[in-house]
Structure 1
Amino acid sequence: MATTLASRAAQNQSIGLLRLSFNFLRNLSTATSTQKPGASSSDSKKPKRKRKKNLFEVAQFLPNWGLGYHMAKTHWTDVSYQITKINLYKDGRHGKAWGIVHKDGLPAADAPKKISGVHKRCWRYIPHLSKPGETTSTLVKPTENAPKPEAQVA
């Protein structure tokens, strides 16, 4: 009986030493690795490329989903669409759109037509063309000889 107790005590000591050595190695490995794996490649970080947007992702930030605003594909020159109608699917990133074609800022057609390629990621908003609600009337300055609106009674 004494021999069995002595052998168990020896086993417990060897298991205890084994556990200590594993804990030591575990602590040593976590203490020395202060950088995350792959952090060495972060020194030469490249700026992330901006993901281009489809027509609906551009239009969602404009008032009234871009109705009346001009949009064009990035590779088009002097051609744009004035958006007249948008049908959105539930997710808000897909759908159908109609608009009037403008070339060099002037309408090229009277009736709106369905815009093709609205889901392609190459759309942009054209801010310098006329916006909805903007009137082309000019202010008229009153002249000195013109009759005044208030008639003076003498």
Structure 2
Amino acid sequence: MALMADRAAMARTLGFFKHSLTLIRSFSASATSTPSNAAPTSVAKKPKRRKKKKNFFEVARYLPNWGLGYQMAKTHWVGVSYEITKINLYKDGCHGKAWGIVHKEGKPAADAPKKISGVHKRCWRYIPNSKKAIESQPVPEVQAA
């Protein structure tokens, strides 16, 4: 019984000693820190949220006429894109089917349109230097004198 009482007294003493050391550390840390360092530590920074990538129809939505005639590709494709020829859009505007002509290295690789696979995957991007975008810009004509 005496041993149990001694252990309890020892545990209380050690607990008090640990708390006093923690208190001393907190005072010494706040005294040595500068005001510029205090602001970031007091406010916990939230981790940046990763931007959600867009599926085919979410990209095409912002193009004129739902992107017909424009080129789009998946983000991980290198040198391959589709020129959009037809879109079958479902009611919600984020789902459907699409057809296009495959382009490799900027040149058509096929004559007939092909159904585009993976249109609902979130990895699509618009190719800004497509033929339609270049054709829509007015070309200044030079007159021979």
**Normalised TM-score (structure 2):** 0.65
2:29 corresponding residue in structure 1: none
1:117 corresponding residue in structure 2: 118
Q: Distance in 1 between matches of 2:45 and 2:125?
A: 31
Tell me, what secondary structure is at the counterpart of 2:44? helix
Q: Distance in 2 between matches of 1:57 and 1:137?
A: 28
Instruction: Give identity over the alignment, percent.
Output: 68
Q: Distance in 2 between matches of 1:92 and 1:119?
A: 12
User: Judging changes above 3 Å, is the alpha-carbon distance between structure 1 residues 77 and 96 closer, same or farther for their aligned structure 2 residues?
Assistant: same
May I ask how many residue pairs the two structures share in their alignment?
105
Q: CA deviation at 1:128?
A: 1.5
1:43 corresponding residue in structure 2: 44
Q: Distance in 2 between matches of 1:69 and 1:96?
A: 16
1:75 corresponding residue in structure 2: 76
Q: Distance in 2 between matches of 1:142 and 1:80?
A: 37
1:103 and 2:104 matched: yes
Residue type of the alignment partner of 1:87: N
Q: Distance in 2 between matches of 1:51 and 1:136?
A: 31
User: Judging changes above 3 Å, is the alpha-carbon distance between structure 1 residues 117 and 105 closer, same or farther for their aligned structure 2 residues?
Assistant: same
User: Judging changes above 3 Å, is the alpha-carbon distance between structure 1 residues 50 and 113 closer, same or farther for their aligned structure 2 residues?
Assistant: same
1:57 corresponding residue in structure 2: 58
Show structure 2 runs of 5+ residues with no match. Answer: 1-40
Q: Distance in 1 between matches of 2:50 and 2:136?
A: 38
Tell me, what secondary structure is at the counterpart of 1:44? coil
Q: CA deviation at 1:68?
A: 0.7
User: Judging changes above 3 Å, is the alpha-carbon distance between structure 1 residues 43 and 61 closer, same or farther for their aligned structure 2 residues?
Assistant: same
Q: CA deviation at 1:99?
A: 0.2
Query: Which structure: greater helix fraction?
Result: 2
- The superposition leaves residues 84-111 of structure 1 with CA deviations (integer Å, 9 ceiling, x where unpaired) of 0000111111000000000011111111
- RMSD of Structure 2 on Structure 1 (CA): 2.6
- The superposition leaves residues 117-153 of structure 1 with CA deviations (integer Å, 9 ceiling, x where unpaired) of 1011110111022225816996553333xxxxxxxxx
User: Judging changes above 3 Å, is the alpha-carbon distance between structure 1 residues 46 and 76 closer, same or farther for their aligned structure 2 residues?
Assistant: same
User: Judging changes above 3 Å, is the alpha-carbon distance between structure 1 residues 138 and 52 closer, same or farther for their aligned structure 2 residues?
Assistant: closer
Q: Distance in 2 between matches of 1:131 and 1:110?
A: 17
Show structure 1 runs of 4+ deviating over 4 A: 135-140
Give the structure with higher Rg (CA): 1
1:94 corresponding residue in structure 2: 95
User: Judging changes above 3 Å, is the alpha-carbon distance between structure 1 residues 69 and 90 closer, same or farther for their aligned structure 2 residues?
Assistant: same
